[in-house]
Amino acid sequence: MLFCITAMDRKDGKDIRAATRQAHLAYGRETGVVRLGGPFLNEDGGMIGSLIIIDVPDLDAAIKWAANDPYARAGLFESTDIRYWKATVNNCGAQL
């Protein structure tokens, strides 16, 4: 099942994000469940949150995956939302 995780950074999260970025990216690669992901940006191009589409068996697995993300473990996020998601259109060329 696909799940969409949207997580917004704490206002003072810039240093946390920078310090844990490589671990976050490695976690996504190593777990093998990420289908699409990337940061939300502010008007200046700074990273302020994350959108990640994962493919896991159920909502419990999605919650566990999100909780073990190094960003989440470091306390980066002010808010996190996890929802079931269905891919219906893919015009950007990304592989789902």
CATH code of the domain covering residue 45: 3.30.70.1060
**Residue 54 pLDDT:** 98
Is 32 within the bounds of a domain?
yes
Is 93 within the bounds of a domain?
no
User: Per the structure, how many domains does the chain have?
Assistant: 1
43-67 tens-digit pLDDT: 999 999 999 999 999 999 999 999 9
Sites in the chain below the pLDDT cut of 70: 90-96
Amino acid at 81: D
Structural domain boundaries, residue 45: 2-84
What letters, b where the CB count within 10 A reaches 16 and e where it falls short, cover 9-20? Answer: beeebeebbeeb
pTM: 0.89
Q: How many CB atoms neighbour CB 72 within 10 A?
A: 19
What is the C-alpha to C-alpha distance for residues 19 and 21, in angstroms, rounded to an integer? 6
